[in-house]
Structure 1
Amino acid sequence: MSSVKGITQSGEAVSQNSEAAVYSKVTWRVIPLLLMCYVVAYLDRVNVGFAKLQMLRDLHFDETVYGLGAGIFFIGYFLFEVPSNIILHKLGARVWIARVMVTWAFISAATMFVTTPTMFYFFRFALGLAEAGLFPGVILYLTYWYPSKRRSKMISLFMTSIPVAGVIGGPLSGWIMHSMSGVYGWAGWQWLFLLEALPSIVMAIAVLAYLDDRISDAKWLTDDERRLITAEIAKDQAQTQSHSLRDGFTNPRVWLMCSIYFFLAVELYGVGFFLPTLIRNSGVKDPLAIGILSMAPYAAAVIGTILVGRSSDAMHERRLHITIPALIGALAWLVTVRFGHDIVVAMIALTVVTCCVIIAISQFWCLPTAILSGAAAAAGIAVVNSVGNLSGFLGPFFIGWVNQKTHSTDIGLYVLATALAIGGLLVLHVRKELVNR
């Protein structure tokens, strides 16, 4: 019996090692490419936060104009996201993601020609239309390749694109605005929009060359490897409760996810759109110095997101990996209010906030992908992301308006702290047996 048991255990070990090797092969092929796509996407979405440091003065815009322009991106995003994700599900990720990236690159670059509030609103709205579908499309695409038990780590790796964009984009944006101002008669913020749009074209070409729509298209996998992944995905989808397109709109759990993400997403753009301003308020004036300091929060978030993603998969626990970071982040916002003019304390608090927000959001996306598959996932993920991202419109607009009326960021930060705590606590209403897989 012992020898039989030993053979069985050895066979299982070999099988597990073989499976791990196959998924490692998939990860090295897929994740770096998708990560870099979202790095350049997020850079083009939030570089308006750095442009603000010069743009408002040059164009005579006030804080309300900026807040509305920064947020109106999400109206376009909301309107086109669900149809975009359904098209991706039917047409394939390769062509559709490349189309998305080329379109937003041209619109982002064209923002350099803004001269009036109306033009600013138009280009930000158009940018939202163009980019709609990229993020939920990638999350959907990952469900084609990874079962639930492996998905938290993969989503966490992909979500490091946001802090990576911060690490790269902060110093880059600061340098462009510091060094290119006045070149050929263009302001630094104009060069910012132009130069940071160019990498999107390069990544669109890479997507067309290297991304496969489905497992069966992956010629870089052997027949046995394709069969293994296909069997794992089929087994995983059999455990989900919603598959049809209609389920993606009507499942009550989808609308609970929308509520949770609404409160979490406002944090992401609170950080993205206002971090440079908060650093400046602490006493730093030079755009290059602000860009360099903004690296620290995002660098910490890269490490934290990866570590928490591994912990979540290892423990098969999702809810507390969202709630705990959310509550810690809410407390850190309050510290930022109290010590906003102390550069050391403010930077520590902003680092904690940024890290906790990105961790909570990366872990959140393990929830809808655990209860939806197929067409339901295509629609449901897009619904959650589009409805949740409406907070990306309301948050910046409200905070910009409050900042202008009170000449202080304090009330806006109290709102962000409250929203983050609510989002974290709402997660506890999700049944753990549905998502802790």
Structure 2
Amino acid sequence: MTPPLARPAAGPGAGAGRKNLMLLIQLRWIAVVGQIVTIAFVEWALDIRLPLAPMAAALAALAALNLVSLLRLKAWPQEVSNQELFLALTFDAAALTALLYLSGGATNPFAFLYLLQVTLAAVLLAAWSTWAMVVVTVACFGGLALAYRPLALAPGADLFELHVIGMLVCFALDAALLVIFVGRVSANLREGDARLAALRQQAAEEAHIVRMGLLASGAAHELGTPLSTLAVILGDWRRIPAIASDAELIADVDAMQAEVARCKAIVTGILLAAGEARGEAPAVTTMRAFLAEIVDDRRTARAVDALVYDDRFGDDVAIVSDSALKQVIGNVIDNAVEASPRWVGVAAERRGETLAITVRDAGPGFAPDMIENLGRPYNSTKGRPGGGLGLFLVVNALRKLGGAVEARNRPEGGAEVLLTLPLAALMLEEPTADGG
């Protein structure tokens, strides 16, 4: 079976208010089912006559509230406010009050379910809302002590025994709901902590990239002058008779001029990616030509026996040539060539509105900890200072463009890196009707 691809962690999820409302919906369904079971047990097992019609109406109101809450979550993407959660809990308290009024009032052991409402409020609501819920539940409990519908007990029924049974059932229901609620809240907190840790890691990586970008930009500025000086000196050497008449020396000078020209092109690319190149407009090209240029450039720059390019992109599209992306893809190919000088395979294809580039090699593959920590700085098996920055830059550069990087070891040996990028990040924007 093909091993799973490793990818960096995902981004933040839904808001806390929406999660809390969903949690209330789930608890309310459990409470409705529990109350139906309890009413049925009291009616038929304990032979206590209850006003089933009005009780059913109260439970139907709770179910209707759940349906409205689900519709609100689906139809409105806005965050759920504290006031909405407070109103929902107040409605729950009112429904519980109606059920208790119809079944003995404050003498009903299920009156202790008010504590569950206060617990939910203390965890989910702001401080003022929690105290307001305390006032609401105390007022409801006090009202039930003054006005309620007495239970119609069967002749000879032991009221104390029935009260103990009711307290046991109430305790079991209360404990089960609290365990479910606290467990879900704890899971939400752990998920929030994980998202916060991921955001902090991303911020640290981006700060690291900024520092590296500043250093690279400064180095590019500093290298411009000595490279120009070397180009002038090499041009002068070509005109020296002793060198011009020696074919071997002329070949060496030509090789040095080619390398200096390449260094100047790299420096220009760094400045262009940093937005510091002057007088150069963005180059318009096509996706297939852009990718073919990258592969051809890697074939020229790197010593590889076989760099196989499989163009499966399909219908071509016009794009703006992005020098940073060109460096990113070239970096992945360079890493593959370094690990597998005899063969590297590059494939490009279009998956809907996404560009997918797969780079394969026949080298030793990734170490398990490298796949686990994909994209972390200095995560490398090369054992040299600064190693591992290539994939770190690749992951973060693609993330900025809305893309992703995945890596795995191939079953037949070697490694595979998959780069995915939305085509919208590179494609030319169609002109609007007003020419904008």
Name the TM tier (shorter chain). under 0.3
Structure of larger gyration radius: 2
- Structure ranking higher on relative contact order (CA contacts 8 Å, 6+ apart): 1
Q: Tell me which protein shows more helix as a share of its residues.
A: 1
TM-score (norm 1): 0.24
